[in-house]
Structure 1
């Protein structure tokens, strides 16, 4: 059977979930999330490297380093697709689709290749998450009756979910191959930020700099929270199964719904049902 989670790991994951939902909410509150994401993730990467150096972390061994680099590429794609999703749709449904969708992708991989086992509880969790994602999509459809608009609104979130699943698995393999948690995060986030600047920032560097000048506190705090969330998450993953940690972390969906409500986007009906199903499914999967 998969390992149960200790109280310390659970606490770290829940703190990571809170930090993760909060920086997503801060990014959503920026005037243009696509532009603001560039300096925000640069702050995240810089603080991650500084933390790794301060902690005396060592460069990952060659095989683990390859997985860290691969994780960085996937995180770069996640940064881009998440920013585009937040620029087009409300925080609540975007966050639910990204986090819940990642679980649907992660669990088959961890079952097939990382030694985790499917139990009755985890099977029920997957079913609840699938139901939650369907409810979230239907709720967004109620906001906009056009099916094309629904696809545009949450399409980027669904794509982002695939990249989230990919970098979670890459992190776990890197840790299994000997990478220290903070070193793995530092390498991966540095690669992701560099690619983000090179690809997304090309031609929009002026807008990114303007976003930082106009909203420095929101962007810097968001970047620091992103680093905190990643650091706590990867440390917890080093001490527990990737599937279990990933699923428990997705209780952040509830935090995201709280922050969405505080921003004036009050979820109703199917939106709340979707968030509740994804959260309940995550709890079942972590058992």
Structure 2
């Protein structure tokens, strides 16, 4: 297993693969990450680009996960896959499965309606457009690639609990309500391993839980569940004036993400079908 860009999700996929007896090689751009990954049994290498990987290693890879983020160049961002994937694809001679971690942001705004894998993508943000570019690079690579469009990722060490407890969290009462979807990292890992063991080249799968919610409702209920201060609720006009451009981009993509294909082909049930089911485990993790 080769994991390109071994971050929050990639590390957990790597550990799951090791538990199944697989050898795992992972790339990172940071020596600090190598120090964190190697004690787990992951063979971590520091490279600026996959082009620096030895051809002998590429030829041995049978499964590959690309979780390399977009690259920021000043105020712009771009998908680096177009620079290296065409050059290494011919050396990946043993690959039987390749997965690319994309985002549900490629769909763009659906005015609060449902989107599924057949929905035409009309991304309004540069981030969404570049993720779509990376998806195309993988499907054009000639490799048996699948794409996973992931909703908001949360899990241990990556959630809103600390920000909510700190107080001052701001949510906006948009009209119409702004829906958001999310998924626990454990369910992402389970879905990726299921796909790896039942590959289907060209498949696109949304990874989202069973409960899209208006964002303001979500954060208010989550705060109440953990005893945090209630978020400050802004009007739409206040939100436009006070929120960062990145947050406003997020809120301009209003959609509910369907996970029917995920359930039909990969996971009949989720470990955490909604955020309510995950809160006890998140709290227990904080105490351990």
- Between structure 1 and structure 2, the one with the greater Rg is 2
Q: TM-score, normalised by structure 2?
A: 0.31
> Which has a greater percent of strand?
2
State TM-score, norm by structure 1. Answer: 0.31
Task: Report which structure shows greater RCO (CA 8 Å, sep ≥6).
Answer: 1
Select the structure that is richer in helix. Answer: 1
